[in-house]
Amino acid sequence: MFVMVNLRVPLLVKRYKKVEMRNLGVAITSAGASRNQQPARDSTEDGSEPSRREHSDDAPIGSLDSSTSNFAASVFQRARHETESMAGNSWECHDCNKTFSKKSTLSHHRRIHQMDGLFECTVCTKKFTRRDHLNRHIRVHTGEKPFECAVCNKKFNQASNLLSHLRTHTWEKPFECTVCNKKFSSTQGLRNHLGNHTGEKLFACADCNRKFNHAGNLRSHLRTHTGQKPFECAVCNKKFNHAGNLRTHLRTHTGEKPFECTVCNKRFNETGSLRKHLRTHTGEKPFECTVCNKKFSETGSLQIHLRTHTGEKPFECTVCNKTFNQAVNLRSHLRTHTGEKPAECTVCNKKLSSLQSLGSHLNTHTGAKPFECSVCNKKFRSAPGLRRHLKTHTGERPYECSVCNKMFGQAGHLRNHLRTHTGERPLSLGKKPLSKLT
């Protein structure tokens, strides 16, 4: 059956027939055939041809049967809508009113509304509008990583991820924030950053109401509530709650250090370590104490320093309950209980309980005194020696006798004083009484 539709309608029918005819079951000729085959014209009484009837956009198409008329009207309405959108250099979806700058982008978007045209994953039933998107998704299930970095041989399941990774080697950051000019190596990093300026955080945690500017950040956060650690090391079976943490951990097994300092060529297994190291070259100290304005190159160093103001000592010895403000100090202290002395002097083979003690000891061989008093310029071989000396300037006496409340500037002086209460004699010199010693 051929349905003859005058002027614009056949052209509009061609545009939408693939979608609409599937639903209506109406056969319509192509636009070309309709345009070439014009309907016969009736002659007027004087033999002249009638004037061609003008069609307005709102004119009804009454000569068609009911189903065809409805179909043609809907096609006509959509075409007018798109034509008007095109005039404003944007294309609007008639289903959801979303606008696009290109018609091809609109065509791709409209597949979302055509549910019967989606490609479905047979593993998790997730649907995609394009077959290549489905093929890319399937690699999540198979673990296939066909894209390999030519620099460090790391593999990726998407070409875009490989491109982003390559920029960690080249330090290329082509994506720039239009607000603060900060640059990023990937569009994803830029999108996440923009949320800092807009304050927009659309993704909220249902447990604690904390909000995030990216869905991926929310997913990672949710694992702090569930305790879920889905990323497992294939070597030692240690589990992690974030893929990035697993990647960093794997380098402890492989020895891989893909991040290289451009100044001294020292290599690191994570970008954070490289950033910290670079500050040793630049002298940058971006982290400032709000109490005394002292600056630090690392957040960890600032946190440790803040404990000197708060008096916090969160690290406690399980043997004697002594507390410390740094984990490294606790580890050194524990060796006084175990007798372990892992640090050995290469000059005299003396063994010491910590690297700090070894460093101070080596200065006795070299004669070096790198620690200088800022008040009187006196120099010392060790940092503890300088700290003890500084108390002679400040008058600080932090060590108090628990018997008589007398205060001392050094722990050694307090220990000596306590013997006056206990009667303990630190030196045994045969049978001579101490009173006769000169």
Q: Is 317 in contact with 334 (CB distance < 8 Å)?
A: yes
pLDDT of residue 264: 92
How far CA 359 is from CA of 238, 328, 347, 384, 407, in Å, comes to 35, 15, 12, 12, 30
Tell me the per-residue pLDDT of 210-239, one tens digit each, with 9 for 90 and over. 888 777 778 888 888 888 888 888 899 998
The CATH number corresponding to 144-294 among 3.30.200.20, 3.10.590.10, 3.40.50.280, 3.30.160.60 equals 3.30.160.60
- Residue 377, by phi and psi: left (phi above 0), alpha (psi -120 to 50) or beta? left
pLDDT of residue 112: 64
Phi then psi dihedrals of residue 305, to 5 deg = -60, -40
Domain 299-422 sits in which CATH superfamily?
Classic Zinc Finger (3.30.160.60)
Residue whose tokens read 């009113």: 97
How far CA 334 is from CA of 312, 316, 329, in Å, comes to 19, 10, 9
Tell me how far apart the alpha carbons of residues 68 and 316 are, in angstroms, rounded to a whole number.
84
pLDDT of residue 83: 47
pLDDT of residue 183: 86
Residue type, 417: H
Helix (H, G, I), strand (E, B) or coil at 151: coil
pLDDT of residue 43: 43
pLDDT of residue 167: 83
pLDDT of residue 189: 80
Residue type, 204: A
pLDDT of residue 172: 84
How far CA 393 is from CA of 286, 305, 377, 386, in Å, comes to 30, 21, 12, 11
Q: Is 377 in contact with 366 (CB distance < 8 Å)?
A: no
- By CB atoms closer than 10 A (0-12, 13-18, 19+), residue 106 is buried
pLDDT of residue 141: 83
What are the residue ranges in the chain where pLDDT is below 70? 1-89, 95, 111-117, 426-438
pLDDT of residue 236: 92
pLDDT of residue 128: 80
Q: What DSSP character marks residue 96?
A: T
Tell me how far apart the alpha carbons of residues 371 and 221 are, in angstroms, rounded to a whole number.
45
**Parts of the chain belonging to CATH 3.30.160.60:** 144-294, 299-422
Residue type, 46: D
Residue whose tokens read 């390999």: 148
